[in-house]
Structure 1
Amino acid sequence: MMKKKHTYLKVLSVAMMALLFLAGCGRGNSDKSANKESTSSTRVIRTASGKVKIPTDPKRIVTNVYTGDVLSLSGHVVGATSIDFTSPYITKSQKKGITNLGLTMKPEAVLKLKPDLIVTSNESDVKPLKKIAPVVYIPYGTTGNIEKKATKFGQVLNRQKQAQSWIAKFKSESDKQSQRLKKAGINPTKTSIGIYDMQNGKLFVDGAKWGRGGQALVTGLGFKLPASIQKIDQGAGFQQISLESLKKYSADWLFFTNTTSGKSTNKQAISDLKSNPVWKSLPAVEAGHVVQLPENKMYYFDPTAVYQQLKLVTDAMVKSVRS
């Protein structure tokens, strides 16, 4: 009887050890799954300020300048600087869910929004804000043309499919508007354009990478920049010029915006420009190939803005030809 009991206890002991081992294995597998899940929830990307570990799928994004870029790929923005709030390409419903941070991203205000990702164009933001959440620093004007810009933000936001979808949509719309121009007698690939802006009484020439419709006109529709403006585009991207030097920066079509509308100095400067003999003698002016567009619709150059500018500039050119 004692021998049978001893055998029973031995078997029971072995069984319990087996159960504990299996339980341990199960817990180990569970830990591995948890670790795998934890690891996959973040990723490391290269930025202008070095490598940064960011969320794989950011849920609460705070940004300056790049609000339109994030929203264009359906990113969730919870805070943005005031300059983005004036964009006509951000809808009222989108603005409802975004806190206006004012001119700069003050750490105290950003902290209250509990972001899991911050995207900035200012290097000075990196040090104070990285204590709150991972900071992706993208210097202004370094993202390339609009297609490269969409691709860049697709990588940052882990929305590569959305970026590729937008690029396909952009190319399709570009082709559609280009065909409209050709029917109106304008062949973009054989036509040069110049982009001019009056700001605080000073006249500037812009390249294609600083907004003002440049990406819609050049990258989208395929217009060309004259050699003199190409140099500006490849350099600083904009340059103040005198009225006397206008002929050097002339083109087949001139696109004009007034950045500081309402100020008497600007009104007088525009009046002086239009009455200047050099301006009047430009072939584009004589042919009526001058398009003045609202600055607030041309300033921005995120994917949504550039996409809508394709039709905006095409409509204006077609109307100019027919009038």
Structure 2
Amino acid sequence: MKKLILPFILIFVVIISACSNNSADKKASTSSKDDQPKTFTYQSETGPVEVPSHPKRVILLSGFTGNVISLGVNVVGVDVWSKNNPTFKKELKDVAEVSDENLEKIIELKPDLIIGLSNIKNIDKLKEIAPTVTYTWGKLDYLAQHVEIGKLLSKEKEAQAWVDDFKQRAEKAGDEIRAKIGQDATVSVFESYDKQLYVFGNNWARGTEILYQAMKLKMPEKVKEMALKDGYYTLSTEVLPQYAGDYVILSQYADADISFKKTDTYKSIPAVKNNHVYEMLGNGASFSDPVTLDKQLAFFKKSFLGN
């Protein structure tokens, strides 16, 4: 009888031991999840800010919308420029429009992180609603800015991976374009907005970062002289030929005054005569985020290369 009981006792001990180990593993797993930091200290340009490690409800008050969207982070409120940007129409369909002056609306949206430019209003009040991080436009270049936002959102690896891939794709396209149009061919970027005409330098969106920085296409000397330092320069129709390169990118808003296109001055520009003017929608062109940049890169490849 004792010989029969002993095996049963051993089996029972083994079962109890296994259950104890499983229980310990579950506790360890649960403890590991609980131990994950819910916040961390982000070193912003204005000082340290305690922010959520994985924000769930982000509000964007001035740009950077495409950066956040591309990293898969949920957005609950955006500025009017982002909301009206056709590039983000699908992604922002159910997202509220907000402003730095409509604090009540922002409170209603219960954000856990607010992002904006350094010139937004009511920063102190916004900080009382949720952790608020601001950036100075142009302090970082367009790619470094994306990586920095990646750090803020605990998505730095993903942001850097996109940057590395984009640089490679844009550089390759640039090599192909220069091979086709000539190494010394120049490109100008104009914009028609309201009743004004502008020409842009190499870091003022409208695809300028891609054309001049990534693709290394050349800028007319007159544009270098007047627009490179400040980023843009206001023009009159009469002087357009002085700033026009061999190729022209024309960003124009739907409601802009485009009467200049009917003038003899405009029609006399070699790029116009040679059908080297490539028009793109102005609405949305003033952004420099991954969503916008990918679309602009595709536009330039099709315009210059036909693919």
| TM-score band, normalised by shorter chain | 0.7 to 0.9
TM-score (ref. length: structure 1)? 0.75
CA contact (8 A) 1:81 1:105 kept: no
Q: Deviations over 1:176-208 (max 9, x none)?
A: 53355356x224x54321111122222111123
* AA of the residue aligned to 1:239: Y
Which residue pairs with 2:181 in the alignment?
Answer: 186
CA distance in 1, matches of 2:285, 2:47: 33
- State whether structure 2 residue 201 is matched by structure 1 residue 207: yes
Partner of 2:6: none
- 1:199-221, CA deviations, whole angstroms, 9 ceiling, x for partnerless residues? 22221111232221212222332
Q: 1:157 to 1:227 in 2, by over 3 A?
A: farther
Gap runs ≥5 in structure 1 = 1-29
Larger radius of gyration: 1
TM value normalised by structure 2 = 0.78
- In 1, the alpha carbon distance for the partners of 2:199 and 2:223 equals 8
Q: Which has the higher helix share?
A: 1
* Distance in 2 between residues matched to 1:283 and 1:268, nearest whole Å: 19
Q: Which deviations, in whole Å up to 9, do the C-alpha atoms of 1:86-132 show, x marking residues without a partner? A: 2233252x32452222x545211111111111001133241120000
Q: Give the Å deviation of 1:234.
A: 4.2
- 1:89 partnered with 2:80: no
Q: Percent identity?
A: 26
AA aligned to 2:86 is P
Whether 2:201 is the aligned partner of 1:216: answer no
Q: Call closer, same or farther: CA 1:238–1:155 in 2, change over 3 Å.
A: same
| Counterpart Cα distance in 2 of 1:74 and 1:231 | 40
Which moved further from structure 2: 120-129 or 160-169? 120-129
Taking structure 1 as reference, are residues 270 and 132 closer, same or farther at Cα in structure 2, changes over 3 Å only? same
Whether the 8 Å contact between 1:123 and 1:139 is mirrored in structure 2 is no
What's 1:268 paired with?
Answer: 259
- Residue 312 of structure 1 corresponds to which residue in structure 2? 299
The one-letter code of the counterpart of 1:242 is S
Query: Take 1:286 and 1:73, find their aligned partners in 2: how far apart are those partners?
Result: 42
Distance change (3 Å), C-alpha of 1:78 and 1:232: farther
